[in-house]
Amino acid sequence: MIRAVLFDYGDTLVEGTRPDDEIMQAALEKAFRVFKRNGLEMDSAAFAERDREVFSRYAEIEAAEKRDIPDLLKCRELAGLVLAKLPPMKRAMVATEANVAFWNQVAGCYRLRTGAVSSLRRLKAMGRLMAIISNHHDGGALRRHLVALKISPYFSGVLASSELHYRKPDSRIFRLCAAMLSVDPSESVFVGDSPVNDIVGAKRAGMLTIMILNSSQAPNRGGSTAAEPDYAVSDLREVPEIVKRVNHTASACP
7-39 pLDDT, tens per residue? Answer: 999 999 999 999 999 999 999 999 999 999 999
What pLDDT does residue 224 have? 59
73-111 pLDDT, tens per residue? Answer: 999 999 999 999 999 999 999 999 999 999 999 999 999
Residue 143 — pLDDT band, cuts 50, 70, 90? very high
HEC letters along the chain: CCCEEEECCECCCEEECCCHHHHHHHHHHHHHHHHHHCCCCCCHHHHHHHHHHHHHHHHHHHHHHCCCCCHHHHHHHHHHHHCCCCCHHHHHHHHHHHHHHHHHHHHHCEEECCCHHHHHHHHHHCCCEEEEEECCCCHHHHHHHHHHCCCHHHCCEEEEHHHCCCCCCCHHHHHHHHHHCCCCHHHEEEEECCHHHHHHHHHHCCCEEEEECCCCCCCCCCCCHHHCCCEEECCHHHHHHHHHHHHHHHHHCC
Q: What is the mean pLDDT of the chain?
A: 94
pTM for the model stands at 0.93
37-62 pLDDT, tens per residue? Answer: 999 999 999 999 999 999 999 999 99
The answer on pLDDT for 3 being more than 50 is yes
What pLDDT does residue 253 have? 62
What pLDDT does residue 215 have? 62
CATH of span 4-15+112-252: 3.40.50.1000
